[in-house]
Amino acid sequence: MKPYNHTRQADAAEIKQLLYTFGVTQSVTSDLKRVRPILEDHIDHLLDGFYDKVMADSDMSQVFQNNNNSHLRAKAMQKSHWLDWVFAAKFDAQYLARCKRIGRIHQEHKILPVYYLFGYQFVSQAVKDLIFSACDDPKQAHRLAQSVEKAIFLDINLAISIYCTEVSASWRRTSQYDQLTDILNRRGITEKLSAMVPATGGYNGTTACIGLLDIDFFKNINDNYGHDTGDQVLKFVAKLITSNFRNEDIVGRWGGEEFLILMPDIRVADAIQVFQRFLTTLESSTIKCNGQSISITASIGVSELSDHASSLDGTLRRADKALYQAKDAGRNQVMTSQQSTDQERTKVIGHALRFKT
């Protein structure tokens, strides 16, 4: 038995609503199937004319040239789209999934919607001309042309809608991900944390731990080897973090050479072991830049989240304080917020005793 596919079920419901919205009824789909043999005899000539016009545009010509003259692949994809899907009236979940895939490709190659409008107008007029040439009955030709317009109107609206959705998703990813390391940036990870831990406090789960990791002596790496090498170190550490933590853990670049790791559903004692193992892995790893091997260590401050946590900001402050205590204690180690507090108490008591004597 095939597993239940939520995405396909959602696509099927969506395309059903779209067909209703754009008036693509059963009679329209029957008309499209009648038009298909007429189009099939002329599709290559039609697409040649269309792409001749497209390639005459300097911007589009450059797009295709930058992608190994991909207009030939685009032409083949377009032919299949018209013959095997639109004019075969195969408006199903697979059709919608295919449109979404094409939309992603268009967005990646920056093919703007204005070219969609031109393309669909060109195809629509060309197909209607073919219909009126092939049909002896003007009323039948008019009805078929109207059905073609409905199908093409559906297709173009779907194409533009998908393109805009992909652009929006791309912008959102750009705003949430660090371009250098390709992991969440401060904004992205803050949004993830805020969704899990309301501003009023209280973690929405059993218990979790936040670790703030800071690369030791990173300024020296930049000063001695250059900022390009520093960038390579940041990318190396980011990749090592993502490959050594669980899929459910949230990893991001908090700023500069500092990274944040949120580990859901874990006690602080277990989290400390995981972080310590990571520091051992990091210390035993070397990165080679310009023929030189660079050893890297880091310090980590850990704070626990629970259902009685005061606030997210408070938890982050405790982790940050623990991180600085780890630096003060000699670096290349893990320090918890509780250990940090205990050290502060020891210092205060020691100072009080010295003052008393």
What angle separates helix 113-134 from helix 43-55, to the nearest 10 degrees?
150
Predicted confidence (pLDDT) at residue 349 exceeds the cutoff of 50: no
Count CB atoms within 10 A of the CB of residue 310: 12
The percent of residues in the chain predicted with pLDDT above 90, rounded, is 53
Residue 206: the pLDDT is 64
The strand pairing partners of 305, in sequence order, are 208
Residue among 14, 40, 248, 257 flagged as catalytic: 257
| Cα–Cα distance, 148 to 22 (Å, whole number) | 12
User: Mind giving me the DSSP string for 21-54?
Assistant: HTT--HHHHHHHHHHHHHHHTTHHHHHHHHHHHH
User: Average pLDDT of the chain?
Assistant: 85
The strand pairing partners of 286, in sequence order, are 295
Pick the CATH number of 186-356 from 3.30.70.270, 1.20.1250.20, 1.10.1040.10, 3.90.1150.10: 3.30.70.270
- 3-class secondary structure, 186: helix
Residue reference for tokens 């660090």:
178
Interval 39-84: pLDDT, tens: 999 999 988 888 887 778 887 788 777 776 677 788 888 899 999 9
The secondary structure of residue 230, as a DSSP letter, is H
- What is the mean pLDDT of the segment spanning 105-127? 81
Predicted confidence (pLDDT) at residue 91 exceeds the cutoff of 60: yes
| Cα–Cα distance, 144 to 135 (Å, whole number) | 10
Predicted confidence (pLDDT) at residue 242 exceeds the cutoff of 50: yes
| Cα–Cα distance, 14 to 200 (Å, whole number) | 38
The secondary structure of residue 331, as a DSSP letter, is S
Write the CATH number of the domain with boundaries 6-176.
1.10.490.10
Residue 350: the pLDDT is 37
| Cα–Cα distance, 231 to 242 (Å, whole number) | 17
In the chain, what are the domain boundaries? 6-176, 186-356
Interval 165-184: pLDDT, tens: 888 888 888 899 999 999 99
- What is the mean pLDDT of the segment spanning 340-353? 41
Residue 258 appears among annotated catalytic residues: no
Q: Do domains 6-176 and 186-356 have the same CATH topology?
A: no
The secondary structure of residue 111, as a DSSP letter, is -
